Structure formats: structure tokens, C-alpha cells
């Protein structure tokens, strides 16, 4: 049997980060070594509180959670409560976790664990790249020490979701992204065998939105095991808004998913014209665990750090016009249907295992 892949997740827990944490906790092919937190969707302390609470809900309160940078490298912090809710987890409410934030900083944790397990760890960044950029300053050998880096961020052949040019994670801290891609370019020039970071941008993460019917499938798993379910959570076509007062299932994890995603669905209905959501972050975790899910192209990527209309744009040289060697693997395709099926199946199985129905 293949050994689980050792992962460090770097998050700014928001709604889709929470779905990624659940997926990692539910995946037998993942060894969740630690989670580092960076300010982004919400301020850093709230990110850490959300992360601890979601991990406890998922039965992984044992995982070390470390708070890293609470502001971008050079810019004031921008947050996205309009997208993720005032606490970052939509309409969901979770009790405070029993575990506490690590005494280590998230930046030091990345550097120290990479030194401790050279060539073993895959780092998956799901928020602004501030922690990784700061960790590179602590340990410049990270491109050689990490097994691989997976990044959620950027928009390459599509428009951004924050400005016409920029994706959210890039826009929060473009200097951090610039630093990382330059660092890998330098490391690859010295040693071409170093694995390039794999970057999943909006080109692939916005192609396969999650819909109410996926949440209903998750809830029905609870019913099959004896849990309570009210199918009036959505209309028969699966596309109408959730009814907020109706309990989805007598399962805390299913309840959390439904309450968090309902906020996300309403946001996308307002701004993107469909009742569903782009859950970017768990797609990246899934691709890290199973690279066959995504097809990539090796290209040179740079990031615009200016303040004009192209600010924070990820510039990919798909035609090789610059003559610079590739420093990034950009995802061009992703099997979204397979990912969504795995997400529902794995998270549903974990929900049933952790919260079996009452005998009554």
C-alpha cells in the first residue's frame, strides 16, 4: 500500500479553506503534518481560530496549528468578509476548539519541518503566499528541501476574481508571489531537477462549481446511516436556495458544510449569476494527493507588483516569448467531476465515522 503523502497546509480559513481541511482530514492518502495560518480571507487570529475549530470538528484536534504572518510583506491587509462571512465560515457557528495555537510561528514551522524531513514534505498554499515568502527568507534552501509546492492562486488565461487582472490570493500579497516565483527560477537555474511549484489558478478551479445537489448527496449519506435529514433543504431541481431554518441532518459536520456553503452560494448568486460556489482550495489538496487529476504545462511565470490596472496579474509565458526557462507548472485541465465525487464521498464517510447516528 502506498504511504500517505506528508502535507503541510498553509491556509487563510475562509469557507473553501475549511472544505479543504475537511478533505485532507478525510483522505487516507494524506498525512496531515501541520497547518500554518496566514491573514487573508479574515485576519490572522480569526484564521487560526477557524482552523482549530474545523480540525476539531474533523477529529484532527491533534494537528499542530501555527499562526504565521498577520499582514502582507509590504501592503496593508485586505480581507474578504463579504465573501466568507464576518468570521470567515459563512453562516456556520463552531465552538472554540480545545487545542491552542502552537508556540511556533507558522513561518518557522515551514522552515523547521522542511529541514527535519528534507525531500518528504509537500506544502499546499491556499491563501496569500506571505508565509512561504517569509519562510524563504528564514530558509533559502526551501526549493530543494520541500518535496513539492502546490499553490492555489492566479488567473492565467481568464480574468481575475478581484480585479479584471488579479485573483484574490495574488492581489493580497503580490510581492510574496513575485518573490517565490523568482526564488524557484533561481533555484532551478542552479539545479534543473528541483520540482517546479504546481499552480492551480482560476482557469481550472472555476470550471467545476459545487452545487446544492452535492450537499444533499452528503446529507443523504447521513440519512442512510440513520441520521435525520429533511430533503426540503433545496427544491427538487437542486438549484434553489437552502432553507436556513431547516436542519440538514443530525450530523455536526454536514450541518457545518451546509451553513458555510449557503453563505458562499448566496455570494456567487449575487456576483456570478449562479447558485453554487467555486471551492478552489480543496481542488488543490486533491491534486497534490493525486497529480493525475490535473494536467499541467511548464511555463515561466512572473507577477506584476505595480499599482496600475494590471496589478497582481500572474503573467505566464505560454509561447516562450521571454526565452526564460519554466519556473512553474500551471494547471491547464482538472477533472472536476471526479474531484467533487471524491470530496462528497470522503467527507461524507468521515462525517459518519465521527458522528454516528444515535441509537434512537
Q: Average pLDDT per run of 10 along the chain, which is 360 residues long?
A: 92 98 98 98 98 98 98 97 96 95 98 98 98 98 98 97 97 98 98 97 97 86 52 46 51 90 92 93 98 98 95 97 98 98 95 74
Is residue 146 a contact partner of residue 191, using CB atoms and an 8 Å limit?
no
In this prediction, residue 292 carries a pLDDT of: 97
All residues at 6 or more sequence positions from 237 whose CB lies less than 8 Å from its CB, including other chains: none
* Domain boundaries along the sequence of the chain: 5-208+278-341, 212-276
In this prediction, residue 81 carries a pLDDT of: 96
Helices (H), 117-173: 130-138, 142-145, 168-172
In this prediction, residue 228 carries a pLDDT of: 46
pLDDT tens digits, one per residue of 194-229? 999 999 999 999 999 999 889 888 887 766 544 444
In this prediction, residue 217 carries a pLDDT of: 86
Strand extents, DSSP E, 12-126: 30-37, 64-67, 122-125
> What CATH class does 5-208+278-341 carry?
alpha beta
Active site residues: 280
Q: Which three cell numbers stand for residue 147?
A: 518535496
In this prediction, residue 98 carries a pLDDT of: 97
Distance, in Å, from the CA atom of 351 to the CA atom of 339, rounded to the nearest integer, reads 18
In this prediction, residue 220 carries a pLDDT of: 77
Amino acid at each position: 500500500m502506498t504511504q500517505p503523502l506528508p502535507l503541510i497546509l498553509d491556509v487563510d480559513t475562509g469557507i473553501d479553506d475549511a472544505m479543504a481541511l475537511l478533505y485532507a482530514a478525510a483522505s487516507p492518502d494524506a498525512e496531515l503534518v501541520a497547518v500554518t495560518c496566514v491573514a487573508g480571507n479574515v485576519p490572522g487570529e480569526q484564521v487560526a481560530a477557524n482552523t482549530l475549530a474545523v480540525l476539531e470538528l474533523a477529529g484532527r484536534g491533534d494537528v499542530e496549528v501555527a499562526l504565521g504572518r498577520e499582514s502582507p510583506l509590504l501592503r496593508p491587509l485586505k480581507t474578504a468578509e463579504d465573501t466568507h462571512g464576518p468570521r470567515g465560515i459563512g453562516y456556520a457557528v463552531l465552538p472554540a476548539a480545545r487545542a491552542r495555537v502552537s508556540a511556533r510561528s507558522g513561518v518557522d514551522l515551514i522552515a523547521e519541518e522542511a529541514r527535519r524531513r528534507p525531500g518528504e514534505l509537500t506544502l499546499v498554499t491556499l491563501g496569500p503566499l506571505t508565509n512561504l515568502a517569509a519562510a524563504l527568507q528564514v530558509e533559502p534552501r526551501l526549493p530543494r528541501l520541500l518535496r513539492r509546492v502546490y499553490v492555489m492562486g492566479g488567473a492565467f488565461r481568464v480574468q481575475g476574481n478581484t480585479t479584471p487582472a488579479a485573483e484574490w490570493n495574488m492581489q493580497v500579497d503580490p510581492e510574496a508571489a513575485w518573490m517565490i516565483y523568482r526564488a524557484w527560477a533561481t533555484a532551478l537555474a542552479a539545479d534543473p531537477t528541483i520540482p517546479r511549484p504546481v499552480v492551480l489558478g482560476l482557469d481550472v478551479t472555476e470550471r467545476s462549481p459545487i452545487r446544492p445537489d452535492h450537499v444533499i448527496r452528503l446529507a443523504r449519506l447521513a440519512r442512510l446511516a440513520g441520521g435525520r435529514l429533511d430533503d426540503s433543504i433545496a427544491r427538487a431541481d437542486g438549484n434553489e436556495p437552502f432553507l436556513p431554518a431547516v436542519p440538514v441532518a443530525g450530523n455536526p459536520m454536514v450541518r457545518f458544510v451546509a451553513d458555510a456553503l449557503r453563505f458562499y452560494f448566496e455570494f456567487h448568486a449575487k456576483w456570478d449569476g449562479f447558485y453554487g460556489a467555486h471551492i478552489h482550495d480543496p481542488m488543490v489538496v486533491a491534486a497534490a494527493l493525486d497529480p493525475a487529476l490535473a494536467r499541467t504545462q511548464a511555463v515561466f511565470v512572473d507577477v506584476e507588483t505595480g499599482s496600475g490596472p494590471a496589478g497582481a496579474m500572474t503573467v505566464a509565458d505560454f509561447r516562450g516569448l521571454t526565452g526564460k526557462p519554466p519556473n512553474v507548472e500551471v494547471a491547464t485541465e482538472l477533472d472536476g467531476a471526479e474531484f467533487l465525487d471524491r470530496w462528497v464521498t470522503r467527507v461524507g464517510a468521515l462525517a459518519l465515522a465521527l458522528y454516528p447516528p444515535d441509537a434512537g
